[in-house]
Chain A
Amino acid sequence: MRIIIPMKRVPDTADPVTVRDGRVDLAAVQTWAIGPNEEYAIEEALRLVEKLGEGTVTLLNIGPEEAQETIRKGLAMGAHDAYQCQDEAFDTLDALGRARVLAAAIEKIGDYDIIWGGMQSSDTNDAQTTIMLAELLDLPHVSAVMTVEEVGDGFIIVRAEAEGGVKKVKVPTPCVLAEAQGPNEPRYPSLRGIMGAKKKPLTVWNADDLGLDTDELEPLVEVLTLEPPPARTAGRILEGEPEEVVRELVRLLHEEAKVI
C-alpha cells in the first residue's frame, strides 16, 4: 500500500493574517504549518498503514525551499519519504496549474494506491486541486472523506460526508481522496520522530525534471487584489437580570434585526 499525500504549507490558522497593499503579507506570518486537511489525511494514512502492518506514506509538496521545514514536520509525524516540486515558475500557479505539477510528479513517482489530498486549503481556499488532480490522472475520487474503513483487493471503502449525514463509499484503487477532517486528532511528532525525520529522503524536482512546459502553467484564475473583510465591530452587550436581558434580546431580534 503506497499513499501519496499532496501537502501544502500554509500560515498557521491560529494566527490572524495581515492584508496590506492588496496582498497578504507573507513576511508577517509567524508560524507555518501543514495544511489542516492534509494533517488529518496524514494521521489517517499513518493509522491505516499501521493497521495493515505494511505500506508507506509519501508527502508531496509544491513550494519554496523554506517549505521543507514544514515537510519535515510531516516526516516527523511518521511519513516515510517526501518529494518537493520547487521552481520559480510554480510561484504563480492557480489550482489547475498545481494539479498539473502534482500529476507530473505523481507519474514520476510511479506506483501508488491512494492519493490522499485535502478538500480545501486554508490559505487560497480553492477547494479544487485534489479533484482536478483526479481528473488529470483519470482516477475516481471521493470528496469530503473522513477515513478509510476497509481495504480490499483492488478497492477501498471510505467514510465520507454526505448531504446531511455520512456515507460509506466503495472506490477502486488507485484512487484520489479529498480529506475533510478525520476522527482522530493529528499526532504530535515525538522527539524520536523529529530526529528520524532529518534522515528521511526528501527529493526535489524542478519543472525540467518533471518535463513540464512552463508556458502551459499560466494561471487561468488570477487574484487581482485582496482586501481585509468589512470590519465586524462588537455590538451591544445586554446587561441586567437574566429575564430582562433575554426579553430585550428577543425584542431586538424581532423588531430591530427582524430575523425571528
Chain B
Amino acid sequence: MAETVLVVAELADGKPKKITYEMLTAAREVADEFEYDVAVLAIGSRLDADALAETFGARGADVLFVADDDALAEYAVEPYAALLTQLIEDEEPALVLFGFTPTGRDLAPRVAARVKAGLATDITGVRLEDDEILFIRPMYSGQAIATVKIASDVKMATVRPNTWPVAQPGDGDAADIEELDVDDLPEPRTDVLEVEVSQSERPELTEASIVVSGGRGVGSAENFKIIEELADLLGAAVGTTRAVVDAGWRPYEEQVGQTGKTVSPQLYFAIGISGAIQHISGMRTSKYIVAINKDPEAPIFKIADYGIVGDLHKIVPLLIEEIKNLKEAEV
C-alpha cells in the first residue's frame, strides 16, 4: 500500500466542518507531490458513512476510516486518542493532520506523545523538497515564521483554520470505507457537567471569514450593539480585546490576541482598538484589515489595509447603512 496522509476529520452533527475540507486540500498538496494516498478518519455516532465516503472521495480521499459508536457522540480525549493510536500503529501514515481547533489542540499532543511522533503546531504551509516535508508555522505569536523539520517516521501537524482553501468536489470515486473496531475503548476520565453556549447564530470566531472586533473605544457593554449589528449584517463573528474582557463588557471567548484566539479571516474590522502588540499577534494574518479609530497615531493603522480616522459612534452606523444599501442593490 502507498504511504498515506491521514486527515482527522472534524464533524458537526455528522457533517464535515470547514476545517476538514481545508485539511483535505493540504493533504492532497502533500499526497500529489509524493504519490501518497489520502485517508480520512471520521469519529462519531450514527454517521452516514456512505455519504461521507462520497463527499470525501469527490474531494480526493482514497480511504475513509469510520469509528461509529454511541459512546463517541461527543469528543473526549481518552477514547479518541485510543482509536487514533491504534490506527496509527496499524497504518503507519507518513503524516497525520489535525485542525488547530479546540479539539485538535486537545487531541494531537496526547497522541503525539503516545506514539512518539513529532508534532508541528498551527501550520500555515508545507514545503516539499528532496523527499522531505517541511512545515511552515508562526512562532513568537506571528513575529517569526519558522521552517520546521520532523524527524519521526510518522509526522503530525495541526493546521491553522482559514489557511488552505476549502476542497471542492471533483469527479473522484467514493472513498473505500473501513470500519474501525470500537469495542473496549477507554472511558473518558473527565465529566462535562454543563456547557453554556454564548451565541449559536454567529460563526465560530476562529473559522469566520469576517470578524468584527470592538475595543475599549466602543465605550460600554451597551454600545457593543452596533458592533453586533454590523457583524450580523455581514454574517461575521464578534471579536474583542483584553481591555474589554477585563472591563466585563464581553466574554473571554471573544478575545483575540496573545492570550485569546488567533484568527485569520478574509476581513477583520478593528473598531476602537489601539493595536497593542498582544492584540495584533492574534489577527495579523487576516487578509484585509480595516481600522476605525479616532486617533490617527493609533498603531493599528500601521497594519491596516484601509483606515478611517474618526469617531466610531458616527462611522459604524453610517457603515451599517451603506452595507445595507449595497445588499439591497445586489438583490
List chain A positions with a Cβ less than 8 A from chain B: 11, 13-17, 19, 24, 36-37, 40, 94-96, 99, 119, 122-129, 131-132, 134-136, 140-144, 146, 157, 161-172, 180-181, 183, 185, 218-229, 232, 234-239, 242-243, 245-247, 249-250, 252-254, 257, 259-260
Contact = CB atoms under 8 A, between A and B. Distances in A.
Nearest to B209: A259
B58 to A, nearest CB: 27
Contacts of B121: 125-128
A224 B148 contact: yes
A192 B231 CA distance: 48
Contact of A171 (B142, B190, B199, B326): B190
B151 interface: yes
A20 B158 CA distance: 27
A143 B106 contact: yes
B18 interface: no
A17 B139 CA distance: 11
Contacts of A259: 209-210, 266-267, 287-288
A49 to B, nearest CB: 22
Contacts of B309: 237, 239
A257 B141 CA distance: 26
Interface string B18-53: 000000000000000000000000000000000000
Nearest to B288: A257
B59 to A, nearest CB: 24
Interface string B144-172: 11111111100000100000000000000
B109 A127 contact: yes
Nearest to B242: A181
B149 A224 contact: yes
B118 A226 contact: no
A96 B109 CA distance: 9
B106 to A, nearest CB: 5
A222 B112 contact: no
12 contacts: A96-B113, A140-B78, A142-B190, A166-B251, A221-B149, A221-B151, A226-B147, A242-B315, A246-B319, A254-B326, A259-B266, A259-B287
A18 to B, nearest CB: 9
Interface in B233-266: 234, 242, 245-246, 251-253, 255, 258-260, 266
Given A13-B278, A220-B118, A257-B288, A229 B145 contact: yes
Contact of A242 (B147, B189, B314): B314
Interface stretch (B89-97, B177-185, B296-304): B296-304
Interface string B94-121: 0000001111011011101110111111
B331 interface: no
A136 B258 contact: no
Contacts of B78: 140
Given A125-B139, A220-B151, 6 more contacts: A13-B258, A36-B258, A134-B110, A170-B193, A171-B190, A259-B288
B128 interface: no
B140 A238 contact: no
Contact of A19 (B143, B204, B310): B143
A254 B210 CA distance: 13
A70 B209 CA distance: 40
A122 B306 contact: no
Secondary structure of the B side of the interface? Answer: mixed
Contact of A226 (B114, B144, B209): B144
A37 B257 CA distance: 12
Interface in B181-226: 189-200, 204, 209-210
B195 A162 contact: yes
B322 to A, nearest CB: 5
Interface centre among B140, B191, B260, B322 (most CB of A within 10 A): B140
A229 B142 contact: yes
A92 to B, nearest CB: 12
B255 A222 contact: no
A17 B144 CA distance: 8
A161 B317 CA distance: 32
Contacts of A125: 121-122, 137-141
A224 B134 contact: yes
A17 B143 contact: yes
Nearest to B255: A181
Given A131-B109, A162-B197, A168-B194, A246 B315 contact: yes
B278 to A, nearest CB: 5
B73 interface: no
A246 B119 contact: no
Closest 10 CB pairs of A and B: A220-B118, A140-B189, A235-B305, A131-B109, A135-B113, A165-B197, A132-B113, A128-B109, A259-B267, A221-B118
B274 to A, nearest CB: 13
Contacts of A17: 140, 143-144
B71 interface: no
Contacts of A257: 267, 287-288, 305
